[in-house]
Amino acid sequence: LEPKWLNPSWPAPTLPARPMRDGPGPARGSVGGSAGTSAARGKLRARATVWSLILALPACSDAAESAEVSGSAVAGEAWGQLDADLRPDKKDDAWTTSSRFKRDLAELFPRNRGETVLELGAHVGHCTRVLARLFGAVIAVEHSEAVLDTNVRRTADLSNVVHLHFHTVLDDWAVFSRGRIGVVFIDAAHDFHSVRSDIARAAAIPTVHTLVLDDYGAERGVRGAVADAVGAGLARVRRFVGEPPPWGFAGRTVEDWEGVVLDPLRPNSSEGQASVQVSEQQRPLENTTWVVFPAGVFVSGYFQPHGKIRFDAEGVAASSYGQLVWRRASEYDGLEAGEVYALQLEEPPHWRAEMKLNGHRTAAILFRSDGHELVMLREEMMRTVGEKLLSFLH
């Protein structure tokens, strides 16, 4: 990494003795090597290097850097710099937040120069610049390399931004487990499942004390995920930010607030424990739709679905194979087999099947009695998987 990517006052990052995994980039034991083109210098491709760099970022504490800022903490020259970064407004560019939203961020985080913020869905860098004025360090996460390149160029004059090519649903959050992240700004994919996953994973980081979500009013998936997370005891609403209802952009009228701020609730806290336990036990498979693919679909390059199954209430499922009945396979409880369901086709050829879910209930393997082994994905995941496949193609 060239010096411009790091604040000179930070300690020099060193690799841990055992990197999380091998990957492209500098050899073990070094953080040097060729930085590539100027547009790509900020992207950290070796996860061990990312880990070291995150460990070197400012801690979430009342550090000396925090004490250097007085009053509103964004004063004098800092306010002038921030004022320039309040534009463009969402009415002028639908792919950013409103100027009011950015101003609310400044009021929400007046003394946070000693903290690190994780920005999920950093896009082309408009909000990244604002966050860089408010926090000691910004980890700007984006799953599209082309978009991330634009962010790198737009923030090239800022020394406290680390850029990470990362997919918030499909990639491993362990890269953040040893970081000292205080705030998470969530603005990645806006479908219900992706946002719900981002909230849950962000709230699980022990040092995180605040979650900020954009497009709360404009996207139904964001509102639904927030409501579900609050109902499950993962978080509580602190306040709303940005444009108040009704407001509009790009010819749309929005009937709810632009953004929302959440306080994460830890599962071991008295307020969150009971709700989380109840939610985990009562999450139904019913009223979900799954797309079925042949095994090996993601290495074959042939993505034609094999079928579709919708699990209705009272153990009945409609499918492209015919009517099914289903139940929880309680005989596997206690065998560390995970969550397994038994299915039976009610018409010829009357096959039976066992459906084993992954931990996030986003995918499953279907073992049929006629010898077929199939892969199942929740319908909400199809957009996320499609984006990932497109990023590989490009």
Question: Are 161 and 155 in contact, with CB atoms under 8 Å apart?
Answer: yes
- The pLDDT of 22-38, averaged and rounded, is 37
Beta pairing class for 352-357 and 363-368: antiparallel
Check residue 161 and give its pLDDT: 96
Q: What is the three-class DSSP state of 278?
A: helix
User: Taking the CA atoms of the chain, what radius of gyration do you get in angstroms?
Assistant: 23
277-302, pLDDT tens digit by residue?
434 444 468 888 999 988 876 666 66
Domain range 79-264, its CATH number among 3.40.50.150, 3.10.20.30, 3.10.180.10, 3.60.20.10: 3.40.50.150
Residue with tokens 């487990």: 177
Q: Decide if 224 contacts 192 (C-beta within 8 A).
A: yes
Average pLDDT over residues 296-322: 82
pLDDT of 393 reads: 61
CB 368 within 8 A of CB 350: no
DSSP state of 272: T
Residue 274's SS3 state is helix
pLDDT at 205: 92
Confidence check: pLDDT of 44 > 60? no
What percent of the chain clears pLDDT 70, i.e. is strictly above it? 70
**Contact in structure between 307 and 368 (CB atoms under 8 Å):** no
User: Which region among 76-80, 359-363, 374-378 has the lowest average model confidence (pLDDT)?
Assistant: 76-80
pLDDT of 148 reads 94
Is residue 284 classed exposed, middle or buried when 0-12, 13-18 and 19+ CB atoms within 10 A define those classes? exposed
Tokens of 80: 């002038």
Residues 89 and 145: beta-carbon distance below 8 Å: no
pLDDT in tens, 79-136: 567 777 888 899 888 889 999 999 999 999 998 999 999 999 999 999 999 999 999 9
CA distance 363 to 321: 19
Q: In 3D, which of 194, 54, 42, 51 has the Cα closest to residue 118?
A: 54
pTM above 0.85, yes or no: no
Does the pLDDT value for residue 20 go beyond 90? no
Q: Is-cis flag, bond preceding 246, omega within 30?
A: yes
Using CA atoms, how far apart are residues 194 and 189, in angstroms rounded to an integer?
6
Which amino acid, 393? L
In this prediction, residues 306-312 reach a mean pLDDT of 91
Smallest CA-to-CA distance from 352 within 324, 333, 331, 380 is with 324
Dihedral pair phi/psi, residue 157, rounded to 5°: -85, 0
Under a CB-based contact definition with an 8 Å cutoff, are residues 293 and 374 in contact?
Answer: yes
Residue 223 in this model has a pLDDT that exceeds 80: yes
Which pLDDT does position 160 carry in this prediction? 95
pLDDT for 43: 41
C-alpha angle 282-287-293 in degrees, rounded to nearest 5: 110
Q: Identify the pLDDT of residue 33.
A: 37
* Whether pLDDT at 172 is above 90: no
Q: What is the DSSP letter of 384?
A: H
> 118: which DSSP letter?
E
| H or E segment to which residue 64 belongs | helix 64-67
Q: What is the mean pLDDT of residues 221-247?
A: 95
318-347 as b/e: b if 16+ CB within 10 A: ebebeebebeebeebeeeeeebbbbbbbee
pLDDT of the residue at 290: 92
On whether the CB atoms of residues 6 and 49 are closer than 8 A, the answer is: no
154: its two tokens: 């737009």
Q: Sign (positive/negative) of CA torsion 221, 223, 226, 227?
A: negative
Residue 35 pLDDT: 37
For residue 283, the one-letter residue type is: R
For residue 305, pLDDT beyond 60 = yes
Band (387; pLDDT cuts 50, 70, 90):
low
Give every CB contact of residue 95 below 8 A, 6+ residues apart in sequence: 123, 124, 126
* pLDDT for res 361: 81
Q: Give yes or no for a contact between 116 and 58, defined as CB atoms under 8 angstroms apart.
A: yes
Per-residue model confidence as pLDDT tens digits over 67-77: 343 344 444 55
How high does pLDDT run on average in the chain? 78
Q: Where are the domains of the chain?
A: 79-264, 288-393
Q: Which residue has the tokens 């939203």?
A: 101
The per-residue pLDDT for 315 is 86
